[in-house]
Amino acid sequence: MANPDLVSSTDTILTVDHLTMRFGGLIAINDLSFKARRGEITALIGPNGAGKTTVFNCITGFYKPTEGMITLTHTDGSHYLLERLPGHSVSWKAKVARTFQNIRLFSGMTILENLLVAQHNRLMIASGFTIGGLIGLPNFRRAEGEAVDKAKYWLEKVGLTDRADDPAGDLPYGAQRRLEIARAMCTGPVLLCLDEPAAGLNPRESLELNELLLSIREIDKTSLLLIEHDMSVVMQISDHVVVLDYGTKIADGLPEAVRNDPKVIAAYLGVEDDDVEKIEAQVGL
Amino acid sequence: MNAPSAAPTTGSPPHAATRPGQGGSEFLPAVKNAALAALVMLGLSIPIIAFRTENSMANELILLPRWRVVAVLCLIVFAVRLLLNLGGIHIARRRSAKRREILVTRVEAPTTLGQRIFFYAAPVLLGVAIGYPLITTLVNGGLSESRYWIDLGILVLTYVMLGWGLNIVVGLAGLLDLGYVAFYAVGAYSYALLAITFGLSFWICLPVAGILAALWGIMLGFPVLRLRGDYLAIVTLAFGEIIRLVLINWVDLTNGGAGIASIPRVSFFGIPFTADEDGFAATFGLEFSTMHRIVFLYYLILVLALVTNIVTMRLRRLPVGRAWEALREDEIACRSLGINTTSTKLTAFAIGAMFGGFAGAFFAVRQGFISPESFNFLESAIILSIVVLGGMGSQMGVAIAATAMVAGPEMLRNLGFLSAVFGDGFDPNEYRLLLFGAAMVAMMVWRPRGLVSHRDPSIVLGERKAISGALVKEGHG
């Protein structure tokens, strides 16, 4: 599967090749291929049950795909075959971070602790795999100071500095969403995968989220891949949209082009009952 | 949120105003209810308490009626129920008012008086623990007279140490371990066998016992990595039983159910506690007393327990400790953050087991005799209930719970005066399991998250605030 085209294109960060995922007889993803470019926000959209979250779980190592290849390319040209890495290495080695559709924070730990847990591997090495930290080597203290500084930077960025010592479970919903993004960013990813980051947010929070995501792309130089239902988010901030329906890609392109694609309108944005046959005839279904 | 919760608060004064008027009408139903409770108690007592089976002179089974005990118990139930009925109304009202206040001022709730007490309790309790042999000597008027009390102190501290060791696995990492006593057994047998077979001293065997127990912890950890909750509990329970059965049946190595006797005693860093020329007493110019060894054992277990505590407290502030707690909160999120959940769980099992092994080696050196019967499931259950009653993850709570659970039943021996109430032949000691059960029920009603339910953050930027137990998860296994 050595694809010369794939190796030469340094601006591609994630390549999904012929990805298929079957659960028994159910085909959740059927031969899906798409690319996400570095420094862009790629949106993965589709109706409920289209297989978006399954794609995410394959990319982030929670599922092992039945077939296909998922390649992540770093700026230094190194490749990681995500479907072959063990679950925790996807974040640590390949630098892919993710958030969850139903927020998964460590609710009984403080916000600062949440952000430090995200920097676990680096701190673990600095603490000499616990032994150095146990006897109090200065090396670990310095590393922990740096980790706290990084956490402070992200607290500032998501506007939670004054709540750093409160338990994460006490935060309002919108703040929990932002904290989950900050926590994922604390792992120092090159690709951030967001599973419905705007779900349950009010219009104002949704706008703030857009700004945060754009700033992550611009300032922190991290590429984003997001699943989203909120069209205002998708259309405003994404550079590239991939549309899934029943596990198959039905459109792939710029937001404008996708928005006007009759196939997408038929499958996802919904049409009047009377128009279904007309549009289906038009798109050849 | 403020407006709706304020409304009931302002609505309550008229209620309060009408209460004195209702007072008289509340008394009769309260008495009726209490009488009903006493009646239920009577019904329950007839099959359980009212008769006692005895062997007569002719070796026949006879029934001894114990109506006096039944009557006293029914009276107690009546009185307690009546008090609860009369006082309980006020308590319930006060509590609902308090709850409303908490809703409104929830952010300030964490810094309570209770916590401040706990802040000072640690140094005070430590001081008591260090001065305990001196205190008992002064109270009992002599070192030899206070042997019972120092032995009790040793027993309590052993359980404190075991509780702290298990707290790493259950309280921090959230992995329910019902077979912790297996590691205690591994530690005890490691010391006994190494000391008898190779003649190694306690101070060499102690770390070896810890390491062997840790290895067994990893061995248990591997198969249970994928299990959660009930399934994990069952496998760990089985592991505890397997170790015990192996100890019983591998007669060549362990001498089976007969146990291992005459295990070498502890020495003062090489100086034996004997009456000889080179013994401890002679070396330090003291008059020989067997109590020297007991007091030394007391301080030995105190140091071991404190080491367990200090290491645990430090680990909590290290990445591995935070990863344990994160694992307890959400394992999937841990994986997404690049934490190797396998090695994190295994370290929790290994370190928890290691302290169990230390405690086991201590147990062997103190008893001088071990047998598989010392390591049955009841021990695991007691250690686990110490952790649960103390509040999972709380070092202070575990220490208090261990003291209450181990020393409490011992105190029943000293309640002989109760036979004046219940009649001759009443032995409070027979009721320890009943009282234990009642205490458990009471705890689950009033403090379901244990004595100390709040969690202390491992690192803070500004002000240290305790985290309410309601937010902290127990782990899924």
B75 touches chain A (CB under 8 A): no
Domain B113-414 is found in CATH 1.20.1330: no
A117 touches chain B (CB under 8 A): yes
A141 touches chain B (CB under 8 A): no
Would you say A58 and A70 are in contact if contact means Cβ atoms under 8 Å apart? yes
Q: Do A112 and B333 touch (CB under 8 A)?
A: no
Q: Do A88 and B341 touch (CB under 8 A)?
A: yes
Q: Do B339 and A88 touch (CB under 8 A)?
A: yes
DSSP chain A: ---HHHHH-TTEEEEEEEEEEEETTEEEEEEEEEEEETT-EEEEE-STTSSHHHHHHHHTTSS--SEEEEEEE-TTS-EEEGGGS-HHHHHHTS-EEE--SS----TTSBHHHHHHHTTHHHHHHHTTTTHHHHTT-HHHHHHHHHHHHHHHHHHHHHT-GGGTTSBGGGS-HHHHHHHHHHHHHTT--SEEEEESTTTT--HHHHHHHHHHHHHHHHTS--EEEEE---HHHHHHH-SEEEEEETTEEEEEE-HHHHHT-HHHIIIII---HHHHHHHHHHHT-
Residue B416: predicted pLDDT: 66
The residue with tokens 């984003």 is A224
Which three-class secondary structure state does DSSP give residue B53? strand
Residue B197 CB neighbours (<10 A): 9
What residues have CB less than 8 Å from A58, skipping those under 6 apart?
A19, A21, A29, A64, A65, A70, A82, A83
The nearest alpha carbon in chain A to B312 belongs to: A134
Residue B104: predicted pLDDT: 42
Which amino acid, residue A53? T
Residue B359: predicted pLDDT: 94
Q: Is A99 exposed, middle or buried (0-12, 13-18, 19+ CB in 10 A)?
A: buried
Q: Which of A116, A135, A165, A183 to mutate to test the interface with B (most CBs of B within 10 A)?
A: A165
User: Could you tell me the residue ranges of all domains in chain B?
Assistant: 2-104, 113-414
Q: Which chain A residues in 182-221 lie under 8 Å from chain B, judged by CB atoms?
A: 183-184, 187
DSSP A99-111: --SS----TTSBH
Q: How many helices (H) and strands (E) does chain B have?
A: 17, 4
Residue B425: predicted pLDDT: 65
Candidates B252, B202, B213, B145; CA nearest to B375 is B213
- Domains in chain A, start-ordered, CATH in brackets? 1-95+189-260 (3.40.50.300), 110-187 (no CATH)
Would you say B412 and B152 are in contact if contact means Cβ atoms under 8 Å apart? no
Angle (CA) B166 B169 B174, round 5°:
125
Cα–Cα distances (Å) from B31 to B37, B64, B85, B86, B248, in that order, read 10, 32, 8, 9, 57
Spans in chain A with pLDDT lower than 50: 1-9
Would you say B433 and B197 are in contact if contact means Cβ atoms under 8 Å apart? no
ipTM associated with this complex = 0.84
B460 touches chain A (CB under 8 A): yes
B338 touches chain A (CB under 8 A): yes
Q: What residues pair up with B229 in beta bridges, in sequence order?
A: none
Instruction: Give the one of A117, A148, A164 whose C-beta lies nearest to B326's C-beta.
Output: A117
Chain B residues inside the 8 Å CB shell of A121: 338-339
**Packing angle, helices B113-140 and B147-166, rounded to 10:** 150
| Mean per-residue pLDDT pooled into runs of 10, chain B (477 residues) | 40 42 66 89 84 80 82 89 74 56 44 62 83 81 80 92 92 88 93 88 89 91 82 89 91 85 81 77 76 87 92 88 90 88 90 94 91 89 88 84 85 72 68 80 82 79 76 70
Q: Do B457 and A112 touch (CB under 8 A)?
A: yes
